[in-house]
Structure 1
Amino acid sequence: MAAGSTQPTPGSGDEAVQEAAARAEHTRGRNIPQFDELPIPGDTANLREGESLNDACLALLPLVGVWRGEGEVDYPTIEGPTRFAQQITIAHDGRPFLFHEARAWLLDADGEVIRPAAREVGWWRPQPDDSIELLLAHMTGVVEVFYGAPRNQTSWELDTDAVVRTVTAKEVSAAKRLYGIVAGGDLAYVEERAMSGQEMQPHVSARLQRVAG
């Protein structure tokens, strides 16, 4: 998916279902590492293992898993567009929220790793009125609070309500994200961002395949 896309393309049809089923044969037995001696329920990114998904999170069920793939980052303040790879983990421990962690690394034109890149951690917090709160903390010193809602059963749109940054962080004023499950069962997302004196505009897009769950 190219930077500048306005939304993921929803997947549909028998072919997409068959592709997802075939891929699940390789991912259904995989999960994030577990510490068996933990005295409380551990996180699971596999709905077949661990605690049952809380009913409050059912609207986010398709997101649960470990996802890995590639994308593109571009913005007027950076030299680009630049290719990157990313892994996103979305997991739960049976309570009414999801854990979110994303790690990215830059790639050269041949797909070789250049260096580690962006990291973020946070929480998806679905609410009784079907709204969604998403809290994200970035290693760059920025913390964002998003509010949004499902667009349908397989896509979710969110906008920042508040952005807080440390004194050493770059100026960020707002962001938007759209996540969606697309053809073949992949997770795609696009992000727009207003930062460094620029107006809101496309910043990142990526398409990730399920590798666990």
Structure 2
Amino acid sequence: MEGGDGGSTAPPLHPGLTPLSYLIGKWRGEGEGGFPTINSFKYGEEITFSHSGKPVMSYFQKTWKLASGQPMHSESGYWRPKQDGSIEVVISQSTGLVEVQKGTYDAGKKVVKLQSELVGNASKVKEITRVFELVDGELSYVVQMATSLIGLQPHLKALLKKL
């Protein structure tokens, strides 16, 4: 059977991904979460950005409880940066929730800002924003969320190191 990932050599990077090439690879660290309706919590996290030679990056994230290593949440999707500095992102969460995000990236400052256009299959979540930023070589991100009862509030933040 042919096809698949038979070799270990990565395809050449598509020029459209050059502005976000610093993200490609595996990142690991810790984060903390909360929301007015839930108890605060801490977690371990790993994010992987990869590519297939096309102008799109694959995104996979998983989290676990720090004390036990027990899996918590995972999500995956695709990031499509455009030459004009805009970006389209789709994310599917293990909870069944899906996000269609649009935003901007600044290759010089190494910042990606995303705003939900659509949050689907969610009874309460109405809006999600995400900001990813490279700070002193570490990937920092902040997620804010709004529900049908509570406006946009901080939900998650983490700091990850590249492996």
Q: What is the TM-score normalised by the length of structure 2?
A: 0.91
Query: Which whole-Å CA distance do the structure 1 matches of 2:92 and 2:69 have between them?
Result: 24
Query: Which whole-Å CA distance do the structure 2 matches of 1:42 and 1:206 have between them?
Result: 34
Query: Are 1:101 and 2:60 counterparts?
Result: yes
Residue 3 (structure 2) aligns with: 39
Query: Which whole-Å CA distance do the structure 1 matches of 2:37 and 2:104 have between them?
Result: 30
Residue 157 (structure 1) aligns with: 113
Residue 38 (structure 2) aligns with: 78
Distance apart, 1:114 and its partner CA:
5.4
RCO higher in 1 or 2 (8 Å CA, sep ≥ 6)? 1
State the secondary structure of the residue aligned to 2:39: coil
Q: Describe how 1:99-178 pairs up with structure 2 within 5 A.
A: 99-107=58-66, 112-113=67-68, 115-153=70-108, 154-165=110-121, 169-178=122-131
Cα deviation digits, residues 58-105 of structure 1 (max 9, x gap): 11111111000001001111111x110000000001001000000001
Residue 43 to residue 70, structure 1, CA distance change in 2 (3 Å): farther
On the 8 A contact 2:19/2:107 being kept in 1, the answer is no
Q: Which has the higher strand share?
A: 2
Cα deviation digits, residues 157-204 of structure 1 (max 9, x gap): 110111111xxx542101111101111x11110110112521101000
Runs of 4+ in 1 over 6 A off after TM superposition: none
On the 8 A contact 1:43/1:93 being kept in 2, the answer is no
Distance apart, 1:41 and its partner CA:
5.6
Structure 1 unmatched ranges of 5 or more: 1-36
Letter in 2 for 1:176: T
Structure 2 unmatched ranges of 5 or more: none
Residue 179 to residue 38, structure 1, CA distance change in 2 (3 Å): farther
Q: CA RMSD in A?
A: 1.9
Residue 156 to residue 43, structure 1, CA distance change in 2 (3 Å): farther
Distance apart, 1:39 and its partner CA:
1.5
Residue 93 to residue 140, structure 1, CA distance change in 2 (3 Å): same
Q: What is the TM-score normalised by the length of structure 1?
A: 0.71
Query: Which whole-Å CA distance do the structure 2 matches of 1:179 and 1:91 have between them?
Result: 16
Residue 162 to residue 155, structure 1, CA distance change in 2 (3 Å): same
Query: Which whole-Å CA distance do the structure 1 matches of 2:26 and 2:69 have between them?
Result: 22
Distance apart, 1:42 and its partner CA:
7.1
On the 8 A contact 1:41/1:50 being kept in 2, the answer is no
State the secondary structure of the residue aligned to 2:22: helix
